[in-house]
Structure 1
């Protein structure tokens, strides 16, 4: 497993946030790149036309050129966006992933968020909505297009449904009273990776502080709570 260090991800103060674009249509990437190039706080540092290409690009990128944000479509030849989000979540848990798709199917949205994406924006959304999504996910928040958000509100689900399999494993470990080092050893990841997932758990579950997360996790485990997503 490759784990990014915090210094690799965050640019120097005042430097633009680095972005990797993934879409199997060159015209879409061209348009996205041109739009983002107008934003002084963003810099497109790489592109790929599918998930495998994105992972290869990241594996070969110089540490100082690694992105903070990956923007990807869902439907692509080869590895699609949802599978890519899952792979990135496992290998590069500190990367923010934003899905930009033509599909407004709520099941796609749920799958993307479970896989590790922080946001889901429709391709026909206004440009200012895309920029709001980028700012939100870079800040560690979750963002949905307005139409998606309305659909999610109408079909409310448990907050646990937004967790990735790895996050649910870590929540279970926290609920059992395990320390970060113990959870890391059990899952075969680094302590730093566990810490990153704990931060993501607090963001997704809207929990403040370490104690609040521990209390929530203990309740889930102690009350027989099932951290698996609902059907």
Structure 2
């Protein structure tokens, strides 16, 4: 019996990545790539015309300052084309990124560094109404669920955001009109809440828990 291939659109701002994905996907008998584009804006425009079964969408486009990012493109596509599934294909596996994409309407989330089989499975599951997630992404989500909820005060969040941007204690103090001693007190509390003992670990753990999003 002849199977009608799933029609796919690839949206990524790197030409080499798009070429590699096309070759990989078209090696599967039930996939055919109908178009490839380099921006979120193009993805929406071309998808509305072609109505593919699945769009493979990068999360962050390097040219996003002149257009929409992957999450906004997903939001627009799911509103315009409810019959088209969107699978995020990205290098970012942080909890906050995954949640943003799924809340926007994405039906899958796969890492570029992952196995091809995970990509194929996610595309097929998304096309049939399921949710296709890479195993690493599932691990992040499960870890988030089983980790006890953590609350940082607004001031503690401001301190850790500035710390993540590379500010010293003195610079943080100047930016927030605090004394250095007060900044150190906030950092001690942040370290204790996050269960870490240094700046790098604090930033990493805050990102993992979805308390901080790096740009």
- Scaled by the length of structure 1, the TM-score of the pair is 0.59
The answer to whether 1:73 aligns with 2:58 is yes
Question: Unpaired segments of 5 or more residues in structure 2?
Answer: 147-210
Superposed structure 1 runs of 4+ greater than 3 Å apart: none
Counterpart Cα distance in 2 of 1:56 and 1:90: 13
State the shift of 1:60 in Å.
3.7
Counterpart Cα distance in 2 of 1:59 and 1:14: 24
Give the structure 1 partner of residue 4 of structure 2: 15
RMSD: 1.6
State the shift of 1:22 in Å.
0.2
**Cα-to-partner distance string for 1:41-73 (whole Å, 9 max, x where unaligned):** 000001111111112213443xxxx31000010
Counterpart Cα distance in 2 of 1:32 and 1:99: 13
Give the structure 2 partner of residue 151 of structure 1: 140
Give the structure 1 partner of residue 156 of structure 2: none
State the shift of 1:14 in Å.
2.0
**Cα-to-partner distance string for 1:18-44 (whole Å, 9 max, x where unaligned):** 001000000000000000111110000
Of 34, 45, 64 in structure 1, the residue corresponding to residue 34 of structure 2 is: 45
Is this contact kept in 1: 2:48–2:81, CA < 8 A?
A: no
Count of aligned pairs: 142
Question: Unpaired segments of 5 or more residues in structure 1?
Answer: 1-12, 158-230
